[in-house]
């Protein structure tokens, strides 16, 4: 299990035997094990209270009230605990010598890497100031040139509204060899709450630009299907960074987002993108070219009163970006002309 104690990252283990929970944890960088034991009974149900109705679009959890005592003299009282399937979680204020600090310990989410070294390395990333250390999960690993590119997902449950917290992915470059010293990191984009019904996926890839330059590409897909209707929406976004083999990293460029959605009987809009690396000016360094298409559908009442689906106008556009190799910064170019499909397909299609 991973988490934080105030602004310190912690790693621990926990055994939950119904209402009796026993475990230990240590602060990253310390060898002192702090043992904890406590009780996590399910709250007593009020027979006169109305049954809780789940909010549309959110998962529902059954939290327990829990209290823990620690071998270092600290305690965790009036906290929340969760035990579901492969998930254990405890959260609250840790009290010691009259001082309270946020405390959080949780199993890694499905799909996250269970690796203490990469967890610890994730805490060396520079992030905005928060009331506690982040809860860090390493989602994917790409090893190349004695470096490790890691996609992390960070959250700060101590600042959550109710039990909801937003998530933010980061891209980090580490040394492959333990303890995986941080070389560079960049925030990526905001994500929905862990308990929203959105299906979110993050992928990462590396594409060559020249003998000494590479393009790092991160793709985020966020999809939502209403649990009460046929309405749905999705977004598909690419973020890119230019990197040279000497270890310099450019700032992030967010490319146009592709999105689609449907509401009502057939009201719908779809925006799709194809992204290419193509040398537009003959200097042997490719530009980024984005071919975008937008189409719509609308509801219309027919002559006999029935609802008809009518295709609206479709549009297509081209945008392009050039790299400043001195600053490793991307900037938008004037709208390219005469770029047909045949010429685009002579470039490299960015597909993750």
What single string gives the DSSP state of each residue in 78-124? EEEEEEETTEEEEEEEEEETTEEEEEEEEPPPTTSB--HHHHHHHTT
Q: What is the pLDDT, as a whole number, of residue 57?
A: 60
CA 27-29-31 angle, to 5 degrees, is: 70
Pairing between β-strand 75-84 and β-strand 64-70 as defined by DSSP bridges: antiparallel
CA-CA distance, 103 to 68, in Å (whole number)?
12
164: DSSP letter: B
Q: What is the pLDDT, as a whole number, of residue 116?
A: 94
19: DSSP letter: T
Residue 91 lies in a domain: yes
Q: Which residues pair with 75 in a beta bridge?
A: 69, 95
Q: What is the pLDDT, as a whole number, of residue 9?
A: 97
Q: What is the pLDDT, as a whole number, of residue 56?
A: 60
Q: Shortest CA distance to 298 belongs to which of 284, 285, 278, 313?
A: 313
Residue 322 lies in a domain: no
Task: With residue 269 as reference, give the H or E element that holds it.
Answer: strand 267-278
Distances (CA, A) of 60 to 129, 163, 175, 194, 221: 30, 11, 40, 11, 23
Q: What is the pLDDT, as a whole number, of residue 302?
A: 79
Would you say 216 and 202 are in contact if contact means Cβ atoms under 8 Å apart? Answer: no
CA 289 to chain CA centroid, Å, is 26
Phi, psi of 341 (to 5 degrees): -60, -35
Would you say 14 and 21 are in contact if contact means Cβ atoms under 8 Å apart? Answer: yes
Residue 28 lies in a domain: yes
Q: H helices of the chain, where? A: 116-122, 341-344
Q: What is the pLDDT, as a whole number, of residue 338?
A: 81
Q: What's this model's pTM, rounded to 2 decimal places?
A: 0.86
Would you say 204 and 140 are in contact if contact means Cβ atoms under 8 Å apart? Answer: yes
196: DSSP letter: B
CA-CA distance, 90 to 58, in Å (whole number)?
20
Residue 225 lies in a domain: no
**Domain housing 65:** 1-44+61-107
Report residue 345 as tokens.
């397909």
Residue 10 lies in a domain: yes
Residue 286 lies in a domain: no
Look-up of token digits 């909010």: 55
Q: What's the total number of domains in the chain?
A: 1
Distances (CA, A) of 50 to 53, 60, 220: 9, 16, 40
Backbone CA torsion sign across 189, 190, 194, 196 = negative
Residue 101 lies in a domain: yes
Phi, psi of 251 (to 5 degrees): -80, 165
Q: What is the pLDDT, as a whole number, of residue 297?
A: 83
Listed as ranges, residues in the chain with pLDDT below 50 are none
Would you say 319 and 332 are in contact if contact means Cβ atoms under 8 Å apart? Answer: yes
Q: What is the pLDDT, as a whole number, of residue 125?
A: 96
Q: Is the omega angle on the peptide bond into residue 179 within 30 degrees of 0, that is, cis?
A: yes
Residue 33 lies in a domain: yes
Report residue 62 as tokens.
């059954």
């Amino acid at each position: 299990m991973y988490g934080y104690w105030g602004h310190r990252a912690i790693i621990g283990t926990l055994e939950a035997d119904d209402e009796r929970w026993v475990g230990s944890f240590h602060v990253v960088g310390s060898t002192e094990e702090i043992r904890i034991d406590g009780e996590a009974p399910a709250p007593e149900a009020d027979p006169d209270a109305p049954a809780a109705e789940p909010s549309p679009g959110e998962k529902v959890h059954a939290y327990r009230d829990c209290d823990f005592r620690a071998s270092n003299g600290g305690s965790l009282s009036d906290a929340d605990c969760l035990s579901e399937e492969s998930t254990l979680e405890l959260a609250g204020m840790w009290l010691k010598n009259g001082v309270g600090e946020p405390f959080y310990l949780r199993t890694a989410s499905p799909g996250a890497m269970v690796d203490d070294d990469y967890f610890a390395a994730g805490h060396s990333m520079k992030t905005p100031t928060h009331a506690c250390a982040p809860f860090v999960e390493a989602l994917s690993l790409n090893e190349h040139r004695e470096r490790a590119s890691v996609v992390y997902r960070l959250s700060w449950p101590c600042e959550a509204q109710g039990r909801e917290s937003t998530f933010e992915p980061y891209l980090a470059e580490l040394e492959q060899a333990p303890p995986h010293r941080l070389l560079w990191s960049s925030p990526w984009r905001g994500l929905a709450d862990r308990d929203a019904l959105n299906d979110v996926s993050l992928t990462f890839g590396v594409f060559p630009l020249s003998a000494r330059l590479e393009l790092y590409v991160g793709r985020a897909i966020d999809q939502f299907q209403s649990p009460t209707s046929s309405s749905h929406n999705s977004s598909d976004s690419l973020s890119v960074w230019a990197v040279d083999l000497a270890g310099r990293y450019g700032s992030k460029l967010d490319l146009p987002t592709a999105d689609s959605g449907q509401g009502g009987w057939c009201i719908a809009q779809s925006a799709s993108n194809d992204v290419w690396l193509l040398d537009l000016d003959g200097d042997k360094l490719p530009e980024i070219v984005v071919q975008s298409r937008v189409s719509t559908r609308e509801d219309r009442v027919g002559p006999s009163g029935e609802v008809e689906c009518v295709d609206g106008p479709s549009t297509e556009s081209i945008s392009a970006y050039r790299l400043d190799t001195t600053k490793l910064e991307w900037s938008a170019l004037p709208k390219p002309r005469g770029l047909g499909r045949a010429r685009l397909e002579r470039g490299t299609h960015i597909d993750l």
